[in-house]
């Protein structure tokens, strides 16, 4: 089984699209998409320097356009799984047939402009936290009023929030951690982006999504989303919600993915896959230039297959509705059958306990939070397996 990955912000490099412009029709396609995105994608991908392509309003449509350009030269009909990181989810949604390439690039342009505007409202930022104990890190972030904006696996959590809170956190970090401040415009994937989410929602309201024609993994919880309308709704909510790339990689392992192609500009996501999936690491191709197309096509020929319409196992995520500490139901063990509406735990807040319930029948596949773990709103707590 083969997955194609679409990278997110931070993967861009000056001039990375230059080799692609030698392919017939590429420049014309980029010119047309530039009109939709409201930025000059040809200039940004070939002549712009690192500082210019760091601008959120320009980077986001550039990355989505680049991924779709590269994918346009692959036999995507034999690709079973698509996933993207952050804004890369717009590219992945187009690869899965939910959005047209034109709609994906248009939304990326809106998303980039709206998020850049939200960043300008107050001084916020992000920092990567390497190493340490995950539960201790999450608790420390909550104590500083910060958010775990990205969980990228391989011992990496990205914190986001006010610059003063990030400075205070970095001054006294949890044990065995290293904190690296990131050169980004603001606190992406947090409530600070609420104005941007509203702007993106208005643009998305004019788009009619299609049903996905292959497995499309969601950043929200790593699950494969089967309804086009739900995909679009998640793409909008993602602006203020954490990116759970760790759960997407876990889904790749659960699905038995044997090969991965990362689209241009490639290397970031496949690097995380290599570090996280140490047992049974998929065969990998980074598709950075047209010179890599032969290897990518060969990988698809050897590992690809037409998406199956047979019933497949699904895993759904139960998330926290509020902040607090998690208390799972005593004696509810992994593998236990649960009913729809069954209480599987509580989030303990200052006002009391808030029930956590299973939304559908199935079996408890895995606890994602444990006794007394600090949790944030929307944080995954457990995985419930079912068959459709």
- Which tens digits make up the pLDDT trace of 89-104? 999 999 999 999 999 9
Instruction: Print the domain residue range for 196.
Output: 2-118+191-303
pLDDT at position 322 is 72
**334, 365 contact by CB (below 8 A):** yes
Q: Of 190, 207, 201, whose CA–CA distance to 114 is shortest?
A: 201
Within a domain: 30: yes
Catalytic residues: 86, 189
Same domain as 225, residue 286: yes
Same domain as 218, residue 99: yes
Assess whether pLDDT exceeds 90 at residue 318.
no
- Examine the fold and report which residue of 269, 303, 337 is the final residue of a domain before the chain moves on: 303
**Which CATH number belongs to the domain containing residue 351 in this structure?**
2.40.50.100
Same domain as 65, residue 81: yes
Same domain as 203, residue 86: yes
Same domain as 224, residue 76: yes
Confidence band for 212, pLDDT divided at 50, 70 and 90: very high
pLDDT at position 316 is 72
Same domain as 234, residue 94: yes
Assess whether pLDDT exceeds 90 at residue 357.
no
Same domain as 16, residue 92: yes
- The arrangement of strands across the sheet holding 81-84 comes to 215-216, 81-84, 2-6, 259-262, 283-286
Within a domain: 209: yes
Q: What's this model's pTM, rounded to 2 decimal places?
A: 0.81
Within a domain: 68: yes
Close Cβ partners of 249 (under 8 Å, ≥ 6 residues apart): 153, 222, 272, 273, 276, 277
Assess whether pLDDT exceeds 80 at residue 211.
yes
Assess whether pLDDT exceeds 90 at residue 377.
no
Confidence band for 386, pLDDT divided at 50, 70 and 90: low
**Which CATH number belongs to the domain containing residue 274 in this structure?**
3.40.366.10
> Higher-confidence residue: 280 or 53?
53
Same domain as 198, residue 67: yes
pLDDT at position 236 is 97
Close Cβ partners of 312 (under 8 Å, ≥ 6 residues apart): 215, 387, 388
Assess whether pLDDT exceeds 80 at residue 10.
yes
Share of the chain above pLDDT 90, in %: 78
Same domain as 88, residue 26: yes
pLDDT at position 376 is 73
Domain count, the chain: 3
pLDDT at position 314 is 56
pLDDT at position 359 is 73
> Higher-confidence residue: 107 or 154?
107
Same domain as 211, residue 94: yes
Confidence band for 311, pLDDT divided at 50, 70 and 90: very low
Confidence band for 183, pLDDT divided at 50, 70 and 90: confident
**Which CATH number belongs to the domain containing residue 134 in this structure?**
3.30.70.250
Within a domain: 214: yes
Highest mean pLDDT among 102-106, 334-338, 353-357: 102-106
Share of the chain above pLDDT 70, in %: 96
Within a domain: 186: no
Mean pLDDT lowest among 6-20, 53-67, 272-286? 272-286
Same domain as 241, residue 98: yes
**174, 144 contact by CB (below 8 A):** no
Mean local confidence (pLDDT), 332-354: 90
Assess whether pLDDT exceeds 60 at residue 315.
yes
Relative to beta strand 177-181, strand 259-262 is unpaired
Give the tens place of pLDDT for each residue, 244-290.
Answer: 999 999 999 988 899 999 999 999 999 999 999 887 789 999 999 99
Assess whether pLDDT exceeds 80 at residue 127.
yes
- Examine the fold and report which residue of 144, 161, 181 is the final residue of a domain before the chain moves on: 181
Within a domain: 252: yes
- Examine the fold and report which residue of 280, 303, 326 is the final residue of a domain before the chain moves on: 303
Give the tens place of pLDDT for each residue, 40-52.
Answer: 999 999 999 999 9
**46, 93 contact by CB (below 8 A):** no
- Please give the mean pLDDT across all residues of the chain: 92
Residue 350, burial from CB neighbour count under 10 angstroms (0-12, 13-18, 19+): exposed
Same domain as 321, residue 290: no
pLDDT at position 305 is 78
Confidence band for 309, pLDDT divided at 50, 70 and 90: very low
Please tell me the distance from the alpha carbon of residue 343 to that of residue 232, in angstroms, as a whole number: 29
Mean pLDDT lowest among 114-123, 128-137, 271-280? 271-280
Within a domain: 308: no
């Amino acid at each position: 089984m083969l997955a194609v990955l679409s990278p997110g912000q931070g993967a861009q490099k000056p001039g990375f699209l230059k080799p692609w412009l030698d392919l017939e029709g590429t420049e014309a396609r980029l010119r047309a998409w530039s009109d939709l995105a409201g930025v000059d994608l040809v200039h940004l991908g070939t002549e712009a320097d690192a500082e210019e392509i760091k601008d959120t309003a320009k980077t986001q449509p550039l990355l989505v356009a680049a991924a779709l350009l590269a994918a346009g030269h692959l036999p995507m009909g034999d690709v079973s799984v698509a996933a993207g990181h952050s804004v890369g989810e717009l590219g992945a949604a187009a690869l899965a047939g939910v959005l047209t390439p034109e709609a994906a690039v248009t939304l990326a342009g809106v998303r980039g402009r709206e998020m850049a505007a939200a960043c300008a409202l107050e001084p916020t930022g992000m920092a990567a936290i390497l190493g340490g104990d995950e539960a201790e890190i999450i608790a420390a972030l909550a104590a500083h009023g910060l958010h775990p904006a990205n969980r990228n696996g391989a011992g990496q959590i990205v914190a986001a929030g006010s610059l003063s809170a990030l400075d205070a956190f970095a001054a006294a970090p949890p044990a065995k951690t290293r904190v690296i401040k990131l050169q980004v415009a603001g606190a992406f994937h947090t409530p600070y982006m609420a104005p941007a989410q509203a702007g993106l929602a208005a643009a998305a309201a004019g788009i009619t999504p299609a049903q996905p024609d292959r497995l499309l993994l969601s950043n929200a919880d790593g699950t494969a989303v089967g309804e086009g309308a739900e995909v679009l709704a998640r793409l909008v909510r993602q602006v203020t919600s954490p990116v759970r790339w760790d759960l997407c990689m876990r889904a790749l392992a659960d699905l038995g993915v044997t090969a991965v192609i990362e689209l241009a500009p490639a290397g970031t996501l496949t690097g995380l896959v290599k570090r996280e999936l140490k047992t049974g690491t998929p065969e990998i191709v980074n598709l950075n230039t047209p010179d890599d197309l032969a290897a990518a096509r060969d990988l698809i020929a050897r590992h690809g297959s037409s998406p199956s319409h047979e019933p497949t196992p699904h895993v759904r995520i139960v998330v926290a509705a509020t902040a607090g500490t998690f208390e799972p139901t005593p004696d509810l063990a992994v593998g236990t059958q649960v009913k729809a509406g069954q209480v599987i735990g509580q989030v303990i807040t200052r006002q009391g306990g808030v029930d956590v319930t299973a939304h559908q029948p199935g079996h408890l596949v895995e606890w994602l939070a444990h006794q007394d773990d600090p949790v944030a709103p929307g944080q995954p707590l457990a995985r419930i397996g079912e068959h459709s």
